[in-house]
A = this chain, B = another copy of it.
Amino acid sequence: MTQNIYDDETFFAGYSRLPRSVEGLGGAPEWPALRALLPGLRGLRVLDLGCGFGWFCRFVREQGAAHVTGIDVSQNMLEKAHAMTRDAAITYRRADMERLSLAPASFDLAYSSLALHYVARLAPLLLGVHQALVPGGRFVFSVEHPIYTAPAHPGWTRGAEGRATWPVDGYLEEGPRSTDWLAKGVIKQHRTLATWINTLRRAGFLLDHVEEWGPTEAQIAAQPALADERQRPAFLLIAARR
């Protein structure tokens, strides 16, 4: 079962103060790149896996989506999502993504932002998403990049030239990684980039685009602390279709 760290009070308090929680989609630096992978949203039936506070659900409705189903395992997140939402065409549902049951061919777009790296059993979930999409339906998601999740001791080091360097080890050893991020012992699942792609392929998806996210020059100019993020990608963004 996926660790439900968002219902840990310490974690949730910290998470709630992040720019992406306070400001919504615009507070996430990778959002413009992820948004660029989305199809036109008008009239679509949308599934959001790991919907959190519901920012994306409300966004796609503003863009004309017909209906949105937001799934999350965290009671904390869903309570806040409900409190921020007045829209009968948005349904929030509490569920563990590893035990998810979805009606066949019931969605035009499946989306997930930084949630699938918590899932230990990926293949059954991707098969379920595939069959829940209509033929031609899209699947757009982001996860932490394997270069980011691999190391036993993640964190920048600086060489003689002062350039930030990321210490990769354990890349080919897939499985859980425990890090102290907002709370102690947050468990994420490390898998290689090849595994992400091959698992999608085996579930039947066609790959449209892969992006290893780093900030643009304009983002670094506006927010110089992002500069190190050019040295290694923090996020993996993928667009695929049934």
Contact = CB atoms under 8 A, between A and B. Distances in A.
B194 A232 contact: no
A168 B166 contact: yes
A89 interface: no
A173 B166 CA distance: 15
A163 interface: yes
In the complex, the count of this chain's copies comes to: 2
A101 interface: no
A193 interface: yes
A172 B164 CA distance: 13
A233 B198 contact: no
Interface stretch (A46-54, A106-114, A202-210): A202-210
A170 interface: yes
A167 B147 CA distance: 11
A207 B201 contact: yes
